[in-house]
Amino acid sequence: MRLNPTRQARWLALALILSPLGALGLPRAASLTPCADQYLLGLADPAQIVAVSSNATDPRQSLFAAEASRYPATRGSGEELVALRVEMVLTDRWMPLRLTERLGRFGIRVIQIPLPETWDDIAATTRTIAAALGRSEHGEARVAEMEERLARLAARRQPTSTPPPVAAYFLPDGSSAGQNTFIDAVLQAAGTRNLAATLGRNGWGTFNLEQLASAAPDLVVMGFFDQGGDSARMAFARHPVFQRLLARVPTITVPDRYWICSGWFLAEAAEYIAKRLPAIRDRP
C-alpha cells in the first residue's frame, strides 16, 4: 500500500518536529503493539519516540496512556515507518517475517520482544531493550524499581503457620497459567499460591469444567476481563459453573494495563493483588 503525497508529507513533518536527536545519538524508535508501547514509553528518551501503536493511548491497555498521547499513532506499515525515518521498531515476537525482512531492507532494525516468564528473565529483557535504545542506565533504573517493589512485597509476607491463600487465575475464555509462567511469578510475589501450579500444571492451558466444579480456591484472580469481547471469547466467563465459583469465593479483577505483557511493570500487578488480600482474609 502506498501513501498519497499529502499524507506522506504530513508524516514527514511530524517526524521532523519530534526528532531533535542529532546531539543525543539515540535511534529514532517506534512501537507497533501494546506490549512494545510499554517498553518504548517506559525506557526511551521522549525525544527519540517517533510513533506508537494505535492502542497506546487506551488507558485500559497501557500504563503510559497519557505519555502516548504526545506522539502520532502508526498502523505499522512499512510506508509509514519509512516516511517517519524510523531507525528501530519494537514489536512482539509474532511479527510476520515478511514485514521484518522488508523493514530490514530499509535499514530499520526490528526488535521482537520475547515473553519472559521469570523476574530474572524480565530484568534481562529490560536491560537488553534499554541498551538497544541507548538507554542502559534507564533500564537499570527500571530493574531496580521492580526489585524494590518485589522486596517490599516479600517483607510484607510475615512467617505464619497459615499457608498462603490459593488463587485461581482465569482469562475470559477459560485459559489459565501454571508453573513457569509470568502469571505464576506474579501470584507468588503477591503472596498467594497458584491453583494451577498446585495441581501440577506447567505453562499455559485451560481448566475444563469438571476440574472447575471441584476446585476449591480461596479466591479467583481475573485477567483481561476489562474489554469484554464477542460471545465466543466470553462464553467461559458466562458459563454457570464459572458463575457459581464466583458466587462462592471472592474475586480480584486486575486491570489489563498492569499485565498487558511481561515486563518490569508486572510488579505493579503483584502489588495490586497483595493490597486486596487482607480484605479477602478478613471475610467472615
Q: Name the domain boundary from 81, 113, 145.
A: 113
Q: Is the domain of 167 the same as that of 277?
A: yes
The CATH number of whichever domain residue 174 belongs to comes to 3.40.50.1980
Domain count, the chain: 2
The range of the structural domain enclosing residue 201 comes to 162-281
Q: Name the domain boundary from 113, 138, 172.
A: 113
State the angle between helix axes of 136-156 and 34-43 in degrees (0 to 180), rounded to the nearest 10. 100
What are the angstrom distances between the C-alpha of 94 and each of 73, 234, 284? 20, 24, 46
Cell of 278: 487482607
CB 86 within 8 A of CB 30: yes
Strand ranges (E), 114-264: 166-170, 175-177, 193-194, 204-206, 219-223, 251-254
Q: pLDDT tens digits for 60-102?
A: 999 999 999 999 999 888 889 999 999 999 998 877 777 778 8
| pLDDT number for residue 227 | 65
pLDDT tens by residue, the chain, 284 residues:
344 444 444 444 444 444 455 436 899 999 999 999 999 999 999 999 999 999 999 999 999 999 999 999 998 888 899 999 999 999 988 777 777 788 888 889 999 999 999 999 999 999 999 999 999 999 999 999 999 999 999 998 767 667 899 999 998 888 899 999 999 999 999 999 999 999 899 999 987 777 777 778 999 999 988 765 556 667 788 888 888 888 989 999 999 999 999 999 999 999 999 999 987 766 65
Cα dihedral 188→193→198→200 (10° resolution):
-20
- Whole-structure pTM value: 0.86
C-alpha 258/C-alpha 45 separation (Å) is 22
Q: In one letter, which amino acid is 204?
A: W
| Residue recorded with cell 541498551 | 131
In a domain, 142, yes or no: no
